């Protein structure tokens, strides 16, 4: 039975609708994780550190896709809710063209400037050369990676959330199989890891492009594009919070790496990288729910259904709180086997990572509500509040914590920084939800 945006969403119907975006985000997270497993165990600790230094740069550029995807899908869903399907498809077509153009530009710039970027990050010698090889190859597919993020949002808006899962599984399997072939069989090292990820991203970005270019039975189809400057600006500003989230996360990750290189050297960077791999999956669950639920909120906001907005607020807060508790519990219980996947060969690295992860995992209890809260205001068309939540959470609070706490607690202050940042973030999100309740009638 097809679930429509206009439906009333019980817990069961809501979970069925968002499960594909959630699984899709988990599969997308596997790109870096699979590279990390193969590189760490088969290539070495220095190439593994190179992957961890470069990955925040790639994710920072890919934030363009999050910005355009979340901001414009909310606009398109709202336009559909207003009964204007032709205009919605023209907005959709324009956004895809804009994403492709931006992706090509940043791909070229990245390939040219990857060496000075790596030097700025503190890489030198063998670590520098590994960074350059890995980053230059990955920038080849950055356009496809950006498009993949855009389509992840639009597939849900098109009432085809299951398609995002299928495409992500195909991309993830491509990456996984080629990682084994290029690294374990051919022995191409870090270049093989980058090539495998590159081809996986191309699958993830090109397959949905082909689907929407052809006649299909979804709500959306690519048409001859027209330029709507005000709509494009609205999409960018509305989705700026998601870009802030991803771009800020990349900046903060770079800062974490700086602090860890100072306090613990390559071991510290490798330990943080391992924690981030698990973090990618857990955050992917929260992001997947946010991506999947945002078009529902936007549609009912456009249709003026206040009772459904109240329904989405209540159910989303409940699911995010329960999900956060469960993920924190799982992280604390399974920290050793999770870390052992990456660091079984190095006892010192294993002990450091397990200790840091146990502290870091407390943050999972709180982060889901702030991630969803930002997405909720994006769906309501309030990019300013959405961006404020993201900016405070991923930049102001985390940077303040990671700069100050290590001065008091040493390396433990780095692991505790995310916990303090999420505590302040959930407080800010709650205040925004309370302050805007009368304007949007969701309370």
3-state secondary structure of 341: helix
Chain segment 164-203, per-residue pLDDT in tens: 778 888 888 898 899 999 999 999 999 999 999 899 999 9
* Residue 236 falls inside a structural domain: yes
Q: Is the pLDDT of residue 105 over 90?
A: yes
* Residue 234 falls inside a structural domain: yes
Within 8 A by CB and 6+ apart from 389, the residues are 241, 370, 373, 374, 377, 425, 428, 429, 432
Query: Nearest to residue 368, comparing CAs of 308, 331, 327, 312?
Result: 327
pTM listed for this prediction:
0.70
* Residue 23 falls inside a structural domain: yes
Domain that holds residue 406: 11-440
* Residue 6 falls inside a structural domain: no
Mean pLDDT of 297-311: 88
Q: Is the pLDDT of residue 31 over 80?
A: no
Q: What percent of the chain has pLDDT over 90?
A: 34
Mean pLDDT of 340-361: 85
* Residue 111 falls inside a structural domain: yes
* Residue 2 falls inside a structural domain: no
Please give the tally of structural domains in the chain.
Answer: 1
- pLDDT bin (cut points 50, 70, 90) of residue 299 is confident
Answer for the pair 353, 210: CB distance below 8 angstroms, yes or no.
Answer: no
- Mean pLDDT taken over the chain: 86
* Residue 352 falls inside a structural domain: yes
The C-alpha atoms of residue 98 and residue 363 are separated, in whole angstroms, by 36
* Residue 1 falls inside a structural domain: no
**pLDDT in the model for residue 244:** 64
Chain segment 232-246, per-residue pLDDT in tens: 888 777 666 666 666
How many CB atoms sit inside 10 A of residue 75's CB? 26
Cα-flanking dihedrals φ and ψ of residue 267, to 5°?
Answer: -60, -40
The C-alpha atoms of residue 19 and residue 21 are separated, in whole angstroms, by 6
């Amino acid at each position: 039975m097809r679930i429509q945006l206009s439906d009333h969403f019980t817990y069961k119907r809501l979970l069925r609708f968002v499960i594909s975006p959630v699984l899709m985000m988990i599969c997308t997270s596997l790109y870096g994780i699979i590279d990390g497993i193969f590189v760490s165990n088969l290539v070495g600790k220095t190439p593994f550190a190179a992957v961890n230094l470069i990955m925040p740069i790639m994710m920072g550029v890919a934030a363009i896709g999050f910005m355009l995807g979340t901001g414009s899908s909310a606009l398109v869903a709202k336009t559909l809710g207003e009964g204007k399907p032709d205009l919605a498809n023209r907005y959709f077509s324009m956004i895809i063209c804009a994403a492709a153009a931006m992706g090509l530009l940043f791909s070229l710039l990245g390939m040219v400037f990857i060496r000075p970027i790596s030097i700025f990050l503190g890489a030198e010698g063998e670590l520098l050369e590994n960074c350059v090889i890995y980053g230059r190859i990955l920038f080849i597919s950055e356009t496809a990676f950006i498009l993949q993020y855009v389509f992840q949002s639009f597939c849900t808006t098109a009432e085809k959330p299951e398609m995002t899962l299928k495409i992500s599984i195909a991309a993830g399997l491509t990456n996984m199989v080629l990682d084994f072939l290029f690294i374990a069989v051919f022995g191409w090292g870090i270049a093989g890891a980058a090539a495998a990820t590159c081809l996986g991203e191309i699958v993830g970005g090109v397959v949905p492009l082909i689907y929407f270019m052809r006649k299909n039975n979804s709500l959306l189809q690519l048409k001859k594009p027209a330029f709507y400057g005000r709509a494009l600006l609205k999409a960018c500003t509305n989705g700026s919070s998601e870009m802030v989230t991803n771009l800020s996360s990349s900046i903060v990750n770079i800062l974490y790496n700086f602090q860890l290189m100072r306090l613990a050297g390559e071991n510290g960077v490798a330990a943080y990288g391992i924690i981030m791999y698990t973090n990618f999956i857990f955050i992917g669950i929260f992001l997947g729910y946010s991506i999947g639920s945002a078009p529902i909120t936007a549609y009912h906001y456009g249709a003026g259904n206040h009772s459904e907005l109240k329904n989405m607020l209540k159910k989303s807060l409940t699911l995010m709180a329960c999900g956060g508790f469960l993920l924190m519990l799982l992280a604390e219980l399974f920290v050793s086997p999770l870390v052992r996947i990456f660091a079984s060969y190095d006892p010192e690295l294993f002990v450091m990572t397990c200790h840091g992860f146990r502290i870091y995992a407390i943050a999972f209890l709180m982060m889901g509500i702030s991630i969803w809260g930002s997405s909720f205001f994006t769906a309501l068309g309030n990019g300013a509040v959405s961006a404020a939540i993201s900016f405070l959470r991923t930049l102001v609070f985390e940077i303040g914590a990671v700069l100050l706490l290590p001065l008091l607690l040493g390396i433990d202050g780095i692991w505790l920084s995310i916990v303090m940042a999420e505590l302040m973030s959930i407080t800010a999100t709650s205040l925004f939800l309370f302050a805007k309740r009368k304007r949007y009638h969701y309370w």
